[in-house]
């Protein structure tokens, strides 16, 4: 029986299986299964408990069309804590004996993260708090702004909120607020004795030009704070060894601003000595994949072995994400690698069993049981098998070649659905955002829908992408539209030379964020593309500097110019080349995008229309920069339809 092609609506049929949490005895895993609902225009996420010995022995432990996420087992008991928005905001719950969940918090702004104490008696959590009483919701109030970092694409306008740390006793429900004041704190871990918390904070009142954070020890009894660093690092993760000797820290020193690779540092608490474990290892620590399907992904960070002698973590390299281990002596070992995207894992304290979430270009992702050093992973979940049996999923072929400028480039090529030898097909070039991110051997629903419409899809990692070394990721800074543009065009030339089925007269290009900038740049510098779709893009660096939530510092880091050098900002602005744009251009943008505000799209649209160029502008209501990844399901579908229809019209 022939299979049907993928449609945008299949996004509603597929389920995202993420956030595995392995039980203390290693016999069960709890994970999150996320579903999109078009009729209610929302997401739901339920927790499922499955047996590793018998994966068919699984059942839902939550139900009710809410979002339940971040399951974590108690270190001592058969109890799971998790976050749920069943009361409207995310609150902390515990579940034991698999009965009804017990709610532990009633924070007005909800709970953002939590960690079990090693003794299993308390849970530390973080929650956004307002310094002043919240204004009446139905009463209009002016927003008084006195800081540069006053808005965020993730959380909107700043009204005096700070993230603070609390503890709650699991049995009694007693709460203690440990931090207060005009600082925000990030929760990382407990120390082994359950007496202190490892947290971080910028720890300065004016953070407009502060991009590092301090590593701090916070006493849960006295609330005393001990500062462990001196404003020199960007710290993204920290965890305490079970024996109490070390804190492992994932951080960098901003040598290349936000293009800097993270390293793993080891702090020996007794001597206060720091050791860089990953010195000379030129890879990106952590997952940095540009994709559009998976939901409720959790980066496990740095996970200690029970004997405190090694750490397990994710590494992004060469278009893959794998699992590695490093000892306290700095010896590295691959645990799980291959042509795939490991998007999460949970490992037992002995390091003998782990459960990993794995996606590939032709598969959305499932959980697998892995016995390190003993054969292939064993699949535990099959949430999408029935749906995947119905339609043709295209697996991408790797593209790898030597650029004439001396570096190697990697990408992937997808043939159209129903491909037949001897026929010619149009091709669409896809460009990821960031630019410091990475396309990978991972499932991308947008690309599948384009292939289903009869398009080939080419996507590569040009200069500026993570996963290919520090020099490569840094190469785009100060050179937007230079070497990155040449990389993309060289990749296109290469596949045209290698694949005769591609119709060179029917080429399209699209991308979002930085990929939208590059789409704008490309159509302003060549007419070889017959259609283009620019999404949540940048068109004018001179205005982006002041309107984006990251504008003033991102522009200085990436373009390496500010408003004192308007000539350079304008030189790198696609709007400067609008007279040269002949390609029919569809402009897609979210109304509440604070990362690349919609005025960037408005400027480009009006400039094109004034010159009577072929263009259409689609504005997505109530949508942030994350529209394509976590926006309203109905709008995500309309976005995919708009892209496909535009390319069908002009290619």
Give catalytic residues, as residue numbers. 513, 625
Distance, in Å, from the CA atom of 352 to the CA atom of 361, rounded to the nearest integer, reads: 28
Give the Å distances, CA to CA, from 642 to 16, 226, 649.
24, 54, 11
Distance, in Å, from the CA atom of 485 to the CA atom of 480, rounded to the nearest integer, reads: 8
* φ/ψ bin of 235: left (φ > 0), alpha (ψ from -120 to 50), beta (otherwise): beta
What's the CA dihedral at 583, 554, 154, 135 to 10 degrees?
-120
Of 168, 183, 180, 265, which Cα lies nearest the Cα of 223? 180
Distance, in Å, from the CA atom of 571 to the CA atom of 562, rounded to the nearest integer, reads: 12
Query: Where would I find the beta strands (DSSP E) of 38-78?
Result: 42-51, 58-60, 68-73
Distance, in Å, from the CA atom of 455 to the CA atom of 46, rounded to the nearest integer, reads: 35
**Do residues 51 and 34 touch, judged by C-beta distance below 8 A?**
no
Residue 150's CB is within 10 A of a number of other CB atoms, namely 14
Of 416, 338, 415, which Cα lies nearest the Cα of 377? 338
CA 26 to chain centre: 28
Give the Å distances, CA to CA, from 137 to 133, 140, 141.
12, 8, 9
Of 95, 93, 10, 85, which Cα lies nearest the Cα of 43? 85
Q: 592-606 burial, b if ≥16 CB within 10 A, otherwise e?
A: ebbbbbbbbbebbbe
Distance, in Å, from the CA atom of 535 to the CA atom of 135, rounded to the nearest integer, reads: 35
Q: Which two tokens stand for residue 290?
A: 């540009």
Distance, in Å, from the CA atom of 624 to the CA atom of 152, rounded to the nearest integer, reads: 10
């Amino acid at each position: 029986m022939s299979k049907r092609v993928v449609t945008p609506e299949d996004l509603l049929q597929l389920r995202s299986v993420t956030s595995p949490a392995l039980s203390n005895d290693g016999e069960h895993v709890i994970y999150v299964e996320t579903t999109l609902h078009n009729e209610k225009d929302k997401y739901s996420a339920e927790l499922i408990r499955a047996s590793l010995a018998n994966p068919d022995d699984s059942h839902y432990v939550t139900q009710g069309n809410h979002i339940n996420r971040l399951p974590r087992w108690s270190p001592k008991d058969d109890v799971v804590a998790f976050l749920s928005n069943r009361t409207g905001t995310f609150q902390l719950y515990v579940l034991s004996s698999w009965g009804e969940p017990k709610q532990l918090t009633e924070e007005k702004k909800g709970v953002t993260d939590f960690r079990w104490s090693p003794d299993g008696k308390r849970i530390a959590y973080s929650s956004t708090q307002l310094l002043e009483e919240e204004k009446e919701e139905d009463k209009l109030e002016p927003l008084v702004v006195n800081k540069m970092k006053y808005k965020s694409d993730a959380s909107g306008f700043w009204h005096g909120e700070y993230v603070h740390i609390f503890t709650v006793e699991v049995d009694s429900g007693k709460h203690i607020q440990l931090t207060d004041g005009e600082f925000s704190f990030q929760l990382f871990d407990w120390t082994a004795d359950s007496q202190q918390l490892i947290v971080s904070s910028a720890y300065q009142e004016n953070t407009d030009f502060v991009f590092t954070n301090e590593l701090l020890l916070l006493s849960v009894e006295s609330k005393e704070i001990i500062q462990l660093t001196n404003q020199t690092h960007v710290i993204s993760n920290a965890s305490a060894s079970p024996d109490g000797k070390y804190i492992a820290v994932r951080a960098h020193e901003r040598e290349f601003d936000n293009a800097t690779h993270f390293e793993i540092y080891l702090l020996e608490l007794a001597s206060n000595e720091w050791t860089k474990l990953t010195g000379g290892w030129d890879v990106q620590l952590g997952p940095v994949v540009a994709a559009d399907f998976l939901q409720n992904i959790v980066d496990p960070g740095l996970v200690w072995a029970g004997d405190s002698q090694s750490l397990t973590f994710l590494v992004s390299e060469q278009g893959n994400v794998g699992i590695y281990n490093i000892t306290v002596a700095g010896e590295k070992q691959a645990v799980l690698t291959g042509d795939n995207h490991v998007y999460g894992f949970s490992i037992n304290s002995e390091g003998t069993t782990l459960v990993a979430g794995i996606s590939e270009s032709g598969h959305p992702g499932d959980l697998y049981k892995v016995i390190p050093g003993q054969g292939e992973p064993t699949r535990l979940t099959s949430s999408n098998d029935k749906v995947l049996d119905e339609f043709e999923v295209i697996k991408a072929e790797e593209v790898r070649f030597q650029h004439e400028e001396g570096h190697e480039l990697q990408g992937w090529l997808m043939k159209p659905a129903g491909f037949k030898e001897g026929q010619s097909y149009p091709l669409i070039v896809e460009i990821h955002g960031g630019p410091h991110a990475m396309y990978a051997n991972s499932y991308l629903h947008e690309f599948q829908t384009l292939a289903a419409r009869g398009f080939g899809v080419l996507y590569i990692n040009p200069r500026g992408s993570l996963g290919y070394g520090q020099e490569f990721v840094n190469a785009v800074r100060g050179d937007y539209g230079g070497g990155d543009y040449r990389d993309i065009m060289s990749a296109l030339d290469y596949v045209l030379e290698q694949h005769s089925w591609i119709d060179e007269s029917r080429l399209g290009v699209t991308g979002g964020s930085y990929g939208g900038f590059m789409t704008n740049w490309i159509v302003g510098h060549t007419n070889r593309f017959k259609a283009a779709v620019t999404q949540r893009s940048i068109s004018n660096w001179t205005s982006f500097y002041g309107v984006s939530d990251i504008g003033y510092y991102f522009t200085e880091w990436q373009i390496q110019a500010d408003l004192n050098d308007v000539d350079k900002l304008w030189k790198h602005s696609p709007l400067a080349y609008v007279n040269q744009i002949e390609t029919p251009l569809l402009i897609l943008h979210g109304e509440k995008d604070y990362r690349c505000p919609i005025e960037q799209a408005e400027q480009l649209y009006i400039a094109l229309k004034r010159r009577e160029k072929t263009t259409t502008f689609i504005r997505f209501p109530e949508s942030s920069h994350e529209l394509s990844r976590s926006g309203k399901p109905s709008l995500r579908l309309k976005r995919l339809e708009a892209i496909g229809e535009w390319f069908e019209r002009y290619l």
